Structure 1
Amino acid sequence: MEMMTPTVAAVEHAVAADFVLTGRVLRPLSLSVEQLRTYDSVLGKPFDLRCFTTNRYIRRVEPYRGVRLTDLVEQAGLRNDAPGDFKRMVFVAVAQDGYAVSFSWHELFNTPVGEQVLIAYECDGQPLSVEDGAPVLYSGADIMAAPRHLKRLARVVVHLLGPM
């Protein structure tokens, strides 16, 4: 897998801009929560946040409003140096605290999951602040929401998996 290590400047820029979309893209994006509000938005469904390992109830999460990750990826454009490269791509979302989650290209663009992976800036009709965890990335189609519920999104990096 192609690994990209962000520079100190890129990480500092990510903090200032809220998050970046980089890696195997044609046009890297650097977006603030306020800029996200200018995109077409999607309203998710409320869900119960539960611990993945114990199934312990954590809290009820009211509907998030945000931008589909697929819309941002389409705006950035994927590098397709060889025919079909995009089919071997994985998207790694990383929070400010280092927590990371991943999605495959097939999952985002070839299943209903992609329609419900949001980068949220609002919850229950109220704007999310940095203290609330903005921006929040979550997958509304997952059976258990907690493992791919990420607060303070710092970056999404697109990687190309190599031949096995």
Structure 2
Amino acid sequence: MYKVKVNASHQFDISKQDVDGLDSVESSPNNFHVLDKSTSIKSTILDSDFNSKVYTVKVNNNTYKVNIHDALDQQIEALGFEIGASKAVSDIKAPMPGLILEITINEGAEVKEGDALLILEAMKMENVLTSPRDGIIKSIKVNKGETVDKNALLIEFE
């Protein structure tokens, strides 16, 4: 049994029989022709992240974000664990020595996974450090213009 969530709002249970009964043909890489009750459907996989099991799919000119969880994913979730190691991150450390060019958040701010937190200049390149998870910023341990060493504590989450 697969649990499928579409656009983070609609959830479906799909069985192996449903998948096996699907009449689809790959017409070119990532493009599929599907027949559903004599109705022709064109679909394209625009983006896929296998590790987080998130796919962006275009179906008849409509784009959907689809999360697919198999039995193992469901069991991990039932045990109270998160899928993906990044969910347990409680702080951000400098991946390399550098200069803090900009801090884009404040203490107490609520952030989403992927939100920009700060810009670290290292080896004449600007590196945008993003949030590895949803959360609230507990503290910011650096200031704009400050130089930091590798593994220096930059930001803590609540």
TM-score bracket for the superposition, by shorter chain length: under 0.3
TM-score normalized by the length of structure 1: 0.23
Pick the structure with greater CA Rg: 2
TM-score normalized by the length of structure 2: 0.24
- Between 1 and 2, higher relative CO (CA 8 Å, sep ≥ 6) is seen in 1
